[in-house]
Amino acid sequence: MHGFRGVSRYRTVWVSDTHLGTRGCKADFLLDFLRHTDCETLYLVGDIIDGWRLKKSWYWTETQNEVVREILKKTRNGCQVIYVPGNHDEVLRDYTNLFFGGVLVKEEAIHHGADGRRYLIIHGDKFDSVVKYAKWLAHLGDWAYTVLLSTNHYFNMVRRWLKLPYWSLSAFLKQKVKNAVEFISHFEEAVAHEARSRGVDGVVCGHIHHAEMRDIDGILYCNDGDWVESCTALVEHSDGKLEIVRWAEMPEYVAAPEAKRLTSKAPA
């Protein structure tokens, strides 16, 4: 099916929090996105493979295999792929500056935009006090989150049967809970502060599964979102402009040939 709708070409693409190895991973959406996207540089901004979940129980589908193959295919076709590990795939942090199948693992990276702006690329878990200081609580939250995603899966099966578009129940609940909203705000400010201290113009991260792009005291904060709830990515055009692509926001299921992609444009 890919190729029928054509391929979107970008200078750079950022994706994170795909959580391959879990039932919540929207591997079909992600595979469709990768097959319809071409870029010079692809950043994998952490939690690509969910090592936490795979340690507890093995779950891996052929579609998830296809996602890995598609990423490796991009390296063979000349795309530079940089993997910045997160907390769920933290084991890869022991292999920084090494290549795996053409994919370079980095603790963090600095991206030079086409417009001259410089961006710090990090996953962001070091700015999450729960992950940093109470890992047992993070694992408990991960379990609760998995249950919620399972509920979200069956909820969307019903919506699909009713010919309604994909809608994230978990993302909706996060926005309605005051503490979650406060956490997101504090996280964004902390990440922006780190970028400012590094002397860069902006930052690209993941971790909190909340796609966002906004100016925080002169720092362009960008979160590329995730592929278990919102199915979002951050892209850079040839002129340096950034954009959040929301792949799941289609009138019908992602495989529909005439499905229209909806996007949110970056601030100038």
Q: How high is the pLDDT of residue 260?
A: 39
Query: In 13-134, which ranges are continuous DSSP H helix?
Result: 27-35, 51-56, 62-76, 129-133
Give residue for tokens 């720092």. 219
Q: What pLDDT digit, counting tens, does each position of 229-240 carry?
A: 889 999 999 999
| Separation between Cα atoms, residue 261 and residue 191, nearest integer Å | 29
Locate the DSSP E strands across the chain. Answer: 8-15, 37-44, 80-83, 99-100, 103-105, 109-112, 118-121, 202-205, 212-216, 219-223, 232-236, 242-246, 262-265
Q: How high is the pLDDT of residue 22?
A: 92
Q: Is the pLDDT of residue 1 over 90?
A: no
- Could you tell me how many residues make up the chain? 268
Are 165 and 262 in contact by the 8 Å Cβ rule? The answer is: no
Q: What is the rounded average pLDDT of the residues 31-52? A: 96
Q: Is the pLDDT of residue 59 over 70?
A: yes
Q: How high is the pLDDT of residue 46?
A: 96
Question: From 3.30.470.30, 3.40.50.2300, 3.60.21.10, 1.10.760.10, which CATH number describes the 8-265 domain?
Answer: 3.60.21.10
Q: What pLDDT digit, counting tens, does each position of 210-257 carry?
A: 999 999 999 999 999 999 988 999 999 999 999 999 998 744 434 443
Q: How high is the pLDDT of residue 53?
A: 83
Q: How high is the pLDDT of residue 147?
A: 57
Q: Is the pLDDT of residue 205 over 80?
A: yes
Least confident piece of the model among 7-21, 58-72, 89-103, 118-132: 118-132
